[in-house]
Chain A
Amino acid sequence: MSESDTRSVRGEDDGAVRAVTRVIGELCLPVGLVLLLFYAYLLWGTGAETEREQRVLQRRLGEVFGRHGGQAGAGVGAVRLGDALALLRIPRLGAGYRFAVVEGVGPAELRKGPGHFPGTALPGQVGNFVLSGHRTTYAAPFNRIDQLRRGDDIVVDARDARYTYQVTRKEVVDPGEVDVVDPVPGHPGQRPTTALMTMTTCHPKFSAAQRLVVQSVLVRREERQE
């Protein structure tokens, strides 16, 4: 092969490499935009979906509260998966902080709001009333529970009464440490004697590597005034 042939082949190779590189570079732009759009969807799109669900759930809860008017045991235990169980308010996180708690902790339920672990205690009951909620997506109901301090109130408007819990501890655990949801956290099989509440969410933010756990104890039960 002559020198000019070699130069020509090398030139074609360079041209092909340049063309491929250019196409890859140009494809990076739409790929980056799609990733940005997906990030926006996770932060705001999922939140909009949850807010829609919350409006419906909170309206239904208001109707239930109005019907039962604070009767003891009213409607408790009759909540289906995905239905509203209670209204959660945390004054430390702002006067406007209120989420309807749904029954169940599957992906479909947690899209609607914080969920109650089926089989754990109901609001006000002796045992462990366990809630799980998203930290960064789907309106991020538990985004700021790391800001809770010992003694902070957590108000749960259940169908029969209003229950106030006070934060006792906060810890970060591995996802496998499931004994935090036991009736007596950390003591599997032990019979509970107090009414506790445990909130769990992912930790750190934007990761599911660990769980943030906030525990509280029941301090007050009030009849709801409708």
Chain B
Amino acid sequence: MYRFLWRRLPGGTALRLAVVLLLTGAAVAALWYVVFPWLAPRVPLG
């Protein structure tokens, strides 16, 4: 799956790596600032 996705990315290795880092960063930011704050109060951890 990862090999397939890697091949679908544009450009050479450097550009692909940059795109991967950018997308991962965006996903982490969305999780940390949007999804997790919404989810945290619903988890009964105390």
A and B are interacting partners? yes
B-contacting residues of A (Cβ < 8 Å)? 22-23, 26-27, 34, 37-38, 41-42, 45-46, 49, 107, 111, 134-137, 201-203, 205-208
A22 to B32, CA, bound (A): 28
Given A136-B46, A208-B45, CB of A42 within 8 Å of CB of B2 = no
**Interchain residue pairs with CB less than 8 A apart (13):** A23-B1, A27-B1, A38-B36, A41-B31, A41-B40, A42-B36, A45-B32, A107-B41, A111-B41, A134-B46, A202-B46, A203-B46, A205-B46
Given A45-B32, A137-B46, A206-B46, CB of A22 within 8 Å of CB of B41 = no
Given A23-B1, A202-B46, A205-B46, CB of A37 within 8 Å of CB of B32 = yes
Given A38-B36, A38-B39, A45-B32, CB of A26 within 8 Å of CB of B1 = yes
CB distance from A136 to the nearest CB of B (A): 5
The answer to whether A34 and B31 touch across the interface, beta carbons within 8 angstroms, is yes
A208 to B44, CA, bound (A): 6
A137 to B36, CA, bound (A): 13
CB distance from B27 to the nearest CB of A (A): 9
* Residues of B contacting A: mostly: helix
B18 adjacent to chain A (CB < 8 Å): no
B6-46 near A? 1/0 per residue, CB < 8 Å: 00000000000000000000001001100011011101111
Given A23-B1, A26-B2, A45-B32, CB of A135 within 8 Å of CB of B46 = yes
> Which residues of A have CB within 8 Å of B36?
37-38, 41-42, 45
Residue among B2, B37, B45, B46 with max Cβ neighbours from chain A (10 Å): B46
